[in-house]
Structure 1
Amino acid sequence: MADMPEKSVLSIQSTVVFGYVGNKSAAFPLQVLGFDVSTINSVQFSNHTGYKCFKGQVLNSDDLACLFDGLKENNISSFSHILTGYIGSKSFLEKVADIVVDLKTSNPSLLYVCDPVMGDHGKMYVPEELLPVYIEKILPIADIVTPNQFEAEKLTGVEISNVEDAIKAMQILHSKGPKTVVISSSEFATDGTIICLASTVTNGCKEVYKVQFEKVPAIFVGTGDLFAACLLAWLEKDKNLKLALEKTISTLQNVIKRTLDRARVLAGEGNAPTPAQMELQLVQSKAVIENPPLSHTAAVL
């Protein structure tokens, strides 16, 4: 094997030509935080699907296998982490599972961070047939999993309407494989805030944390991808889930606020911002990503 860079991520998810979602949202923060990032794009679109139209290509499982074979044959398939996000087809997801197993066989210390992107707010935006693949093949090999509330419910069969439900769902996810489970966002709080919950098991000892933050009245795209990337980076750097959570959420809230403030100025008073005006201000947030001002604290549960 070629010498492995200290921190190197293979990131398999969607990408766009314009804007920030999928790999475009994940690669920059990881690079800024000192990781080499190699990307495989599950889909390549002109822009995200929230615009009036989008065009592009979808990779199939054979394309994925071909790219991975090229890495292996050149002895450049050694990574410290693998990160996965949006994947739209069952066969592609099954191939991802094969690749993770292959990479972990040659490097048992490899960490797999899985953002099981399937849907939100009660509806799936990938085919239902991906769900059993996530449950049966992906969760058993994932080290860290970052579903939102809807995805956690789909993966566990637990309806989450309070913190106790969320802890129960996280426990079920632990039992399927991942040592660290983070429900990135849940909206059961009666005061309209968003709650992020995290649980990790180390040597039989469990730690559970909760971060509560204000819901910003706007729709952002690419925030989940940014969340998973920042969490991966800070968990690796600090080896501390509480701190990683605080830094990740503080980063996101800062980026979201900067994005919305700019979008409102561009749209003009009384006008709704366009999808293009609402693209995440990632590059402009470089200093915040590198050194997040801690605006949110995780409570120990």
Structure 2
Amino acid sequence: MSCKQPHVLSIQSHVVSGYVGNKSATFPLQLLGFDVDTINSVQLSNHTGYKVFKGQVLNDQDLICDPVLGDNGHMYVPEELKNIYKNDILPLADIITPNQFELELLTGLTIKTMSELKEAIKVLHSKGPKIVAVSSTDIENKLTSVTSVSKDNTMIKIEVPRIPAIYTGSGDLFAALLLAHTYLEDDIKISLEKTINTLFEVLEKTYHHSLTIKEANAQQAKKIELRLIQSKKNIENPNILLRAVNF
């Protein structure tokens, strides 16, 4: 474990209400002992899953890179930026945390099997990143998180039970937790286990809370805002029930 005081510059979206982007990452990082400085790539009233949202977006004079490419089949950034991520940003990164859709965008590969996932990860390693952590994959009817370390050719995975909802901000939380735990731990297996178990506990707590909301006019997006503050103890000391295995 490193003794140096960790300090993070987090460049992500910001919402006034709710938990995505910097709002999803800052609190967990601070709980785990990190000083966090933030630059907000956008500032919105709430995330775009709501019926109404308003706010501002930084232009290319202020920022040229938001770390989130897209999810669930559509891009969050203009199509013309894809090659900048592939050719300019990837070689600069030590750790990258794509979801399955982003992994396909960055490699140009279609991923339907675990062997195709392995090949795509190798492509990303060849472009520079030492650690590739695929936050979530839905392959062969299993929800799985996979992390690979190029230095010693380690590749591990954790299968995650499904929770019947789609959460906004969970990928941002995954990236923040993995960053923290790869810094604090010497073992990538422990880092991934702490990351996934924390994330699963937060999502499970959020899901069960959503079932208690009975207001007829409550938006689904509001019901499933991440219960981060209520998960303080889980973030600081997660229960390790889901285990990583080599593959």
User: Residue 267 of structure 1 contacts residue 273 of structure 1 at CA under 8 Å; is this kept in 2?
Assistant: no
| 1: CA distance, partners of 2:147 / 2:161 | 18
How many residues align structurally? 244
How far apart in 2 are the matches of 1:271 and 1:299?
Answer: 44
Q: Which has the higher contact order (CA 8 A, sep 6+)?
A: 2
CA deviation map 1:135-187 (0-9, x unaligned): 01100000000001111011111211111111110100000000000111111
Match of 2:221 in 1: 275
* Structure number, greater radius of gyration: 1
Normalized against structure 2, the TM-score is what?
0.94
Superposed CA deviations along residues 15-55 of structure 1, whole A, max 9, x for unmatched, are 00000000000000000000000000000000000111101
Distance 2:237 2:110 in 1: 36
Report the TM-score when normalising by structure 1.
0.78
Q: Does 1:209 align with 2:156?
A: yes
The residue correspondences of 1:207-246 to structure 2 (distance < 5 A) are: 207-246=154-193
1:111 equivalent in structure 2 = none
Cα drift, residue 273 of structure 1:
5.8
Secondary structure, aligned partner of 2:212: helix
2:237 matched residue in structure 1? 291
Matched, 1:146 2:93: no
- In 1: Cα distance, 2:118 partner to 2:171 partner: 20
- More divergent stretch after superposition (272-281 vs 149-158): 272-281
Task: Please list every run of 5 or more consecutive structure 2 residues that lacks an aligned counterpart in the other structure.
Answer: none
Partner AA of 1:265 in structure 2: T
Query: What does 1:68-217 correspond to in 2, within 5 Å?
Result: 92-93=64-65, 116-190=67-141, 193-202=142-151, 205-217=152-164
Change (3 A) 1:257 1:272: farther
Could you list the per-position Cα deviations for residues 207-231 of structure 1 after superposition, in whole angstroms to 9, with x for gaps in the alignment? 0001111221112110000000000
Identity %: 52
1:40 partner SS:
strand
Consecutive unaligned residues in structure 1, runs of 5 or more: 65-91, 97-115
Per-residue deviation, 1:124: 2.0
Partners of 1:267 and 1:277 within 8 A in 2: no
Q: Which amino acid aligns with 1:137?
A: D
2:8 and 2:35 in contact (8 A); partners too? yes
Cα distance in structure 2, aligned partners of 1:254 and 1:246: 12
Q: Structure 1: how far apart are the matches of 2:62 and 2:104?
A: 31
Partner of 2:246: 300
